Amino acid sequence: MSESKLKPEELAETIKYKTPNRNWMDQKVEMKPGRFSHSGVPKSVEYLQLPNPRKWQPTDPDWQLPENWKEIILEGLRDRLNRFRSLRVFMDICVRCGACADKCHYFIGSGDPKNMPVMRAELLRSVYRHDFTLAGKILGKFAGARELTIDVLKEWFYYFYQCTQCRRCSVFCPYGIDTAEITLLVRELMNLVGVNIDWIVTPVANSFRTGNHLGIQPHGFKDSIDFAVDELESITGIKVEAPINKKGAEILFITPSADYFGTPHYYTLLGYLALFHEIGLDYTWSTYASEGGNFGSFISHDLMKSLNAKMYAEAKRLGVKWILGGECGHMWRIVHQYMDTLNGPADFLEEPVSPVTGTKFENTTSTKMVHICEFTADLIKNGKITLDKSRNDNWKVTFHDSCNPARALGLIEEPRYIIKNACNHFYEMPENTIKEQTFCCGSGAGLGTDENLEMRMRGGMPRANAVKYVKEKHGVNYLGCICAIDKATLPPLMEYWVGGVEVGGVHELVGNALVMKGEKERTTNLRGEPLDGKME
Partner 1 sequence: MNTLPEILAARKNIIVDKWAEAILSTYPHESLKFLSSQKDRFANPIGHAVRSSSEKLFDELVHGNDVEKIRASLDDFLRMRAVQDFAPSEAVGFVFMLKRVLREITAQEMTGKGQASFQDELLNFESRIDSMALVAIDLYMEAREKLSRIRIDEVKARSLLALSERQS
Q: Is 89 in the site for ligand SF4 (CB under 6 A)?
A: no
Which amino acid makes up residue 282? D
305 vs 294: CA distance, rounded Å: 9
Site for partner 1 in 244-283 (CB under 8 A): 261
Q: Which residue of 29, 65, 148, 169 would you call a contact of ligand SF4, by CB under 6 A?
A: 169
Asked whether position 175 contacts ligand SF4 by CB under 6 A, the answer is yes
Q: Is 432 in the site for partner 1 (CB under 8 A)?
A: yes
Report the half-sphere exposure of 336 (CA within 13 A, side-chain side).
18
Q: How far is residue 194 from each of residues 18, 38, 234, measured CA to CA in Å?
A: 38, 13, 49
Name the residue among 490, 515, 492 with its Cα closest to residue 503.
Answer: 490
3-state SS, residue 426: strand
51 and 192 in contact (C-beta within 8 Å)? yes
Residue 462 CB-density burial (10 A; 0-12 exposed, 13-18 middle, 19+ buried): buried
2: phi then psi, degrees, rounded to nearest 5: -80, 155
Q: Which does 140 bind (CB under 5 to 8 A by kind): ligand SF4, partner 1, none?
A: none
Question: Positive or negative, the Cα torsion across 9, 12, 16, 17?
Answer: negative
Please give the angle made by the CA atoms of 195, 200 and 201, to the nearest 5 degrees: 70
Q: Which does 168 bind (CB under 5 to 8 A by kind): partner 1, ligand SF4, none?
A: ligand SF4
- Among positions 1-60, residues that touch partner 1 (CB under 8 A) are 8-9, 12, 15-19, 21, 24, 34
Out of ligand SF4, partner 1, none, what residue 217 binds, judged by CB under 5 to 8 A for its kind, is partner 1
Q: How far apart are CA 267 and CA 271, in angstroms?
A: 6
Considering only residues 32, 78, 96, 316, which one is a binding residue for ligand SF4 as defined by CB under 6 A? 96
Q: Does 437 bind ligand SF4 (CB under 6 A)?
A: no
Q: Which is nearer to partner 1, 482 or 498 (CB)?
A: 498
* Residue window 41-80: x/- pattern of binding to ligand SF4, with contact defined by CB under 6 A: ----------------------------------------
Nearer to partner 1, 334 or 461 (CB): 461
Minimum gap (Å) between residue 320 Cβ and partner 1:
27
Pairing type for strands 322-325 and 369-371 reads parallel
Size of the site for partner 1 (CB under 8 A): 47
Under a CB-based contact definition with an 8 Å cutoff, are residues 434 and 139 in contact? Answer: no
Per-residue contact track with partner 1, 452 to 481, x per CB under 8 A? Answer: -xxx-xx--xx--xx--x------------
Among candidate residues 397, 393, 406, the one with its CA nearest the CA of residue 428 = 397
Helix (H) / strand (E) containing 369: strand 369-371
Interface residues for partner 1 in 214-243 (CB under 8 A)? Answer: 214-217, 219-220, 223
Nearer to ligand SF4, 297 or 343 (CB): 297
Q: Can you tell me which of 72, 127, 166, 455 binds ligand SF4, judged by CB under 6 A?
A: 166
Which of 473, 501, 412, 485 lies closest to 447 in space, CA to CA? 485
Q: Which does 150 bind (CB under 5 to 8 A by kind): ligand SF4, partner 1, none?
A: none
300-334 b/e (C-beta count within 10 Å ≥ 16 → b)? bbebbbbbbebbbebbeebebbbbbbbbbbbbbbb
If one asks whether residue 94 binds ligand SF4 (CB under 6 A), the answer comes out as yes
Gap between the Cα atoms of 480 and 400, Å rounded: 6
- Partner interacting with residue 433 (select from partner 1, ligand SF4, none; CB below 5-8 Å by kind): partner 1
Query: Per-residue string for binding with ligand SF4, 109-128, x by CB under 6 A?
Result: --------xx-x--------
Which residues are near ligand SF4 by CB under 6 A? 94-100, 103-104, 106, 117-118, 120, 163-169, 172-173, 175, 177, 179-180, 183
Which residues are near partner 1 by CB under 8 A? 8-9, 12, 15-19, 21, 24, 34, 101-102, 107-113, 214-217, 219-220, 223, 261, 430, 432-433, 450-451, 453-455, 457-458, 461-462, 465-466, 469, 492, 495-497
